[in-house]
Every structure is written in C-alpha cells, then in structure tokens.
Amino acid sequence: MTGTAGTNISAFGAGDLDGDKKEDVLVLISTSETETLIAKRGHNGEHLWEESVTGMDLSALSASDLNGDEIADVLLGSHDQVYALGYTEK
C-alpha cells in the first residue's frame, strides 16, 4: 500500500461477519478510481473477503443481520443506490 494522494482508509466495526460470534471489522480503502471493502476477523485480523468496485463513491456503510442467519450483512451506499452484501458461505 503506497500512500498516494487521494487514498482514504477507513475502518468500521461490522458486527459478526462470519458467524463465529466475534465482532469483525470492515476496512474501506478509497481512491479516486476504486473503492475496496475488506472484511477482517476482529480478533486476529484474518482476511475474510474483499470486494472492489470502480466508478462509485461509497459513502455509507453499516452492517447488521438482514436475513436472520446470524451473520452480519453489509450495506453500502453510493449516490442514490444502496447495495446489500450478504456473505453466508463458510
């Protein structure tokens, strides 16, 4: 990771993203071209998954369990759209 101008890194508490009952963390890396969302296990930093999008400015972010499987789902806001990412695979 080179700290080029225009790169912003934000971290968010995310609830339990993988169902192990421990809080996990979302990291959002924003550049002028790409937004990368990385999920990490809160207790050991292990990489869970990541999603990258281009051409969108992700401005809102939250995570809660939307579908009742006890795994937090991620909400992303970009302009006038909201994206829900549900990660249920083990």
Interface map 28-57 toward Ca ion (x if CB under 5 A): ------------------------------
5 secondary structure, DSSP code: T
Does residue number 18 form part of the binding site for Ca ion (CB under 5 A)? yes
Kindly indicate which of the ranges 6-14, 47-55, 59-67, 74-82 contains the residues binding Ca ion, using the contact rule CB under 5 A: 59-67
Sheet holding 8-13, edge to edge: 8-13, 24-30, 34-41, 47-54
Kindly indicate which of the ranges 5-13, 27-35, 46-54, 71-79 contains the residues binding Ca ion, using the contact rule CB under 5 A: 71-79
**Sign of the CA dihedral 85, 49, 42, 4?**
negative
Q: Produce one character per residue of 68-88: b if its CB has 16 or more CB atoms within 10 Å, e if not.
A: eeebbbbebeeeeeeeeeebe
Nearer to Ca ion, 18 or 35 (CB): 18
Does residue number 67 form part of the binding site for Ca ion (CB under 5 A)? yes
* Tokens (6 digits) for 48: 């869970």
Q: Catalog residues that contact Ca ion under the rule CB under 5 A.
A: 16, 18, 20, 22, 24, 65, 67, 69, 71, 73
